[in-house]
């Protein structure tokens, strides 16, 4: 675990002040660059040493058969595995015939800085050959937000004290070695050499490689070109082979002189185009990048991010670590979705190959929740991708002998890739999560065209699934039996409360939207009788409640199960899924991640304040947080029921999940949903933001240690800023028409260019009871009031 030893705390970037090879794979994830289409891990420029090679194109995958010891009806037959594409990041340097490498010669200094405002990753190295000749190497890397097919690197070598002869090689490399296999099911399946060469060419400073996968039939083109600024003695040559293309510069450099090379890399991929057409398309992208030039690409990057931070920034006074983590999180959430353009947003984004590059419910429930208020165009594209996969979801439902659409638990293209039924197919809540994202996006944007043309069909087909999946019991209650909710330690249960409440919302919303767009609904075959059936099922939905304990049951009979032996479970036995059989987990009261607690956040209208308090306390004592998705939901509810110190602790856990490698698997890529959870913990948690009619409601409150919280967001084309301190909350509208909001239960209107300042004191929060108790050894690390520094005694 990295306890921030070589990462400075600063508000607008992540700085690594020395190179620690023990956590190299983790740092590669932290320093990854992406635009939602291209992903480059933060590998060292020379390619070695490395933790995990990583160059990705969103959607590019290979197929592999899913083996089963015993075949069952409806089991998916193929897996989709994200694979490395051609690596365009690599430079290799010789200084007087001595190879530059961080494990060779004398590494006097090594610093990397990821700038959240410019989107650039800069690396500065002072290095000496074994014979004592010193050079300074500077590389600056970007993946363009404006030109979705382009990555670029500016690489400079300066002689410091003596003349040197430099040989610099810039490469494209395909079929890099795969990492060793792992027994952790969260890790990726490594496929060796998935690419077959189609053609390769080089000429002067330019080279290209084209490859195709054997089974998925995807073709990828990678093109590189260069701008060279070198002393007159420079000689440039190039060569290409099936899996490698190389441009080489040989030059003599005097002290104070430098060799500067700008490398442009363009990618393209297709499952339908001929390789000739794809090659031409990729070369056209290269021409556009060359015309813009390095300085132009950097200006575009800054302009793009200036606009983003203007509508999305979060400011925190009192805790410098959380301030840095909040911007780190927002930057990577943006990178995951900015240019996804009708592709999935994987659980790891494009920062690593964890979970095989699959997308889960994480995308709609966590990532799109945040993007709806800071980058709504990315949400529109992601939901249009889901809509484009409806034929596969309907086919899957038919295979399961159901109606409507059964969306996959894990996927790249839209086909189900989960081979474990209890935590895969049975997790039908993913379909309701997609509908929830539709409703949130339309509420946040007012995009009626999307609601009519894509949202309606998604809501209709998902509601058809619920009617087919459920049934009425002998007392007339509508039941959803044999499903798995967010808590994967309680699989194939009857009437999971999260699933039932989200399905209820789905059914009601489908009925409302179908009535609003009657002609379009009729074209989908919706009848008045079907709408009435949706409303009836929603009204009769089973919501399990334990009268004996006075708490809602996560699923029927859950509170009758034996309690897990938390006292007899050691710290080394977490996560439980790696140390205990699922059979044991499924029949005990132990919760992997927030389930009912998350339902109380997303469906807060279904619970009274007192019910939220009692239920939060009960389930807090059972939740072990073996998932990175849990902390942010627990933070939101802790704040809502008045446990502000605990909300602060969970905020820190969500925001520092990767910066401190809390789950010990950041090496495989960032936890993008937990990063999104940082914003959720701050804005939905401490600021208490909730939908309210056609607008928003806020209930801000700050824990001891945070003295000011301010954030920007976009709501229906308006740019709103909320700033809260221990005494006041200020609402400012910088763009758009007047907006009616609610502060606690007080309605007010904020007008363009004006601010409304209100007393921060809201309705009294019931805080008289003691804080809840977590399972032994599973309490979050406590943060003390002194600038949020960690309490080492906790």
Can you give the three-state secondary structure of 570-638, one letter per residue? CHHHCCHHHCCCHHHHHCEECECCCCHHHHHHHCHHHCCHHHHHHHHHHHHCCECCCCCCHHHHHHHHH
Name the pairing type of β-strands 562-563 and 588-589: parallel
| Residue 413: closest CA among 634, 217, 162 | 217
As a whole number of Å, the end-to-end CA separation of the chain is 17
Q: Supply 558's token pair.
A: 């859950």
Task: Decide if 111 contacts 124 (C-beta within 8 A).
Answer: yes
Residue 338 in tokens: 């900015």
d(CA 75, CA 81): 17
Q: Which residues are registered as beta bridge partners of 14? A: 114
Whether omega for the bond prior to residue 575 falls within 30 degrees of 0, making it cis, is: yes
Report which secondary-structure segment, H or E, holds 305.
helix 275-312
720, 712 contact by CB (below 8 A): yes
Catalytic residue among 321, 488, 556, 723: 488
d(CA 313, CA 322): 13
The enclosing H or E element of 124 equals: strand 121-128
If we measure between CA atoms, which residue out of 638, 635, 644 comes closest to residue 680?
635
Helices 275-312, 320-337: axis angle to 10 degrees equals: 150
Q: Pull the structure tokens for residue 515.
A: 């009535």
> Count of CB atoms within 10 A of residue 457's CB?
21
> In angstroms, what CA-CA distances link 699 with 374, 705, 736, 764?
20, 18, 23, 11
Q: Is 328 exposed, middle or buried (0-12, 13-18, 19+ CB in 10 A)?
A: buried
C-alpha to C-alpha distance for 386 and 438, rounded to whole angstroms = 10
Angle value at C-alpha 340, between 465 and 285, nearest 5 degrees: 145
**Is 488 known to be catalytic?**
yes
Closest CA to 762 of 690, 695, 678: 690
Buried b (16+ CB within 10 A) or exposed e, 392-423: bbbebbeebebbbbbbbbbbbbbbbbbbebbb
Sequence length of the chain is: 794
Q: Rounded distance, CA 320 to CA 789, Å?
A: 9
Catalytic residue IDs: 488
């Amino acid at each position: 675990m990295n306890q921030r030893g070589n990462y400075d705390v600063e508000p607008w970037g992540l700085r690594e002040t020395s190179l620690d090879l023990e956590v190299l794979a983790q740092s590669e994830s932290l320093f990854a660059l992406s635009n939602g289409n291209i992903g480059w891990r933060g590998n060292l420029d020379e390619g070695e040493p490395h933790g995990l090679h990583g160059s990705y194109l969103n959607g590019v995958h290979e197929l592999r058969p899913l083996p089963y010891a015993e075949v069952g009806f409806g089991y998916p037959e193929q897996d989709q595995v994200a694979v490395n594409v051609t690596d365009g990041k690599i430079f290799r340097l010789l200084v007087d015939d001595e190879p530059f490498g961080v494990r060779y010669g004398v590494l006097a200094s090594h610093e990397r800085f990821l700038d959240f405002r410019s989107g650039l990753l800069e690396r500065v190295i002072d290095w000496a050959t074994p014979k004592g000749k010193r050079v300074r190497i500077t590389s600056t890397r970007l993946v363009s937000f404006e030109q979705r097919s382009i990555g670029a690197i500016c690489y400079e070598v300066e002689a410091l004290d003596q003349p040197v002869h430099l040989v610099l090689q810039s490469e494209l490399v395909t079929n890099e070695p795969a990492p060793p296999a792992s027994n952790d099911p969260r890790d990726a399946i490594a496929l060796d050499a998935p690419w077959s060469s189609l053609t390769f060419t080089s000429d002067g400073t330019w080279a290209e490689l084209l490859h195709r996968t054997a089974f998925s039939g995807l073709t990828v083109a990678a093109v590189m070109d260069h701008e060279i600024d070198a002393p007159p003695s420079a000689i440039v040559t190039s060569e290409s082979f099936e899996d490698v293309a190389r441009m080489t510069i040989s030059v003599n450099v005097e002290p104070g002189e430098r060799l500067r090379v700008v490398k442009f890399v363009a990618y393209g991929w297709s499952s339908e185009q001929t390789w000739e057409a794809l090659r031409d398309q990729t070369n056209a992208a290269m021409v556009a990048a060359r015309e813009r030039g390095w300085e132009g690409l950097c200006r575009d990057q800054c302009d793009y991010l200036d606009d983003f931070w203007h509508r999305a920034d979060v400011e925190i006074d009192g805790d410098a670590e959380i301030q840095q983590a909040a911007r780190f999180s927002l930057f990577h959430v943006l990178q995951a979705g900015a240019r996804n353009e009708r592709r999935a947003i994987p659980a790891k984004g494009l920062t690593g190959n964890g979970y095989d590059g699959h997308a889960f419910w994480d995308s709609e429930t966590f990532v799109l929740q945040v993007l709806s208020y800071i980058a709504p165009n990315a949400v529109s594209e992601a939901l249009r991708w889901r809509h484009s996969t409806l034929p596969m979801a309907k086919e899957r439902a038919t295979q399961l002998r159901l109606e409507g659409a059964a969306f996959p638990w894990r996927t790249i293209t839209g086909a189900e890739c989960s081979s474990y039924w209890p935590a895969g197919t049975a997790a039908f809540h993913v379909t309701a999560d997609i509908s929830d994202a539709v409703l949130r996006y339309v509420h946040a944007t007012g995009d009626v065209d999307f609601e009519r043309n894509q949202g309606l069909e998604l809501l209709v087909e998902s509601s058809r699934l619920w009617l087919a999946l459920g049934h009425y019991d002998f007392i007339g209650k509508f039941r959803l039996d044999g499903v798995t909710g967010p808590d994967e330690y309680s699989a194939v249960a009857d009437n999971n409360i999260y699933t039932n409440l989200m399905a209820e919302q789905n059914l009601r919303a489908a009925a409302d939207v179908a009535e609003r767009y009657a002609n379009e609904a009729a074209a989908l075959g919706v009848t008045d009788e079907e709408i009435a059936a949706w409303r009836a099922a929603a009204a009769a939905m089973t919501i399990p409640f334990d009268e004996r304990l006075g708490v809602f049951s996560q699923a029927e009979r859950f509170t009758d199960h034996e309690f897990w032996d938390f006292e007899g479970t050691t710290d080394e036995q977490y996560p439980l899924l790696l140390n205990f059989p699922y059979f044991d987990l499924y029949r005990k009261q132990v919760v992997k991640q927030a389930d009912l607690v998350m339902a109380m956040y997303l469906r807060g209208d279904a619970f009274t304040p007192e019910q939220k308090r009692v239920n939060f306390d009960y389930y807090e004592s059972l939740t072990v947080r073996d998932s990175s998705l849990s902390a942010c939901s627990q933070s939101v509810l802790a704040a809502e029921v008045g446990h502000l110190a605990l909300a602060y602790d969970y905020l820190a856990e969500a925001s520092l999940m990767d910066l401190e490698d809390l789950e010990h698997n950041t090496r495989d890529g960032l936890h993008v949903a937990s990063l999104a959870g940082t914003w959720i913990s701050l804005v939905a948690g401490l600021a208490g933001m909730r939908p309210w009619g056609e607008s928003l409601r806020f209930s801000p409150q700050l824990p001891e240690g945070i003295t000011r919280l301010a954030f920007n967001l976009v709501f229906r084309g308006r740019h709103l800023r909320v700033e809260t301190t221990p005494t006041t909350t200020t609402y400012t509208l910088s763009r758009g028409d007047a907006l009616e909001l609610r502060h606690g239960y007080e309605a007010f209107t904020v007008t363009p260019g004006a601010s409304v300042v209100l007393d921060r004191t809201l309705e009294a929060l019931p805080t008289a009871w003691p804080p809840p108790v977590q399972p032994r050894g599973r309490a979050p690390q406590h943060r003390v009031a002194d600038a949020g520094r960690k309490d080492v005694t906790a």
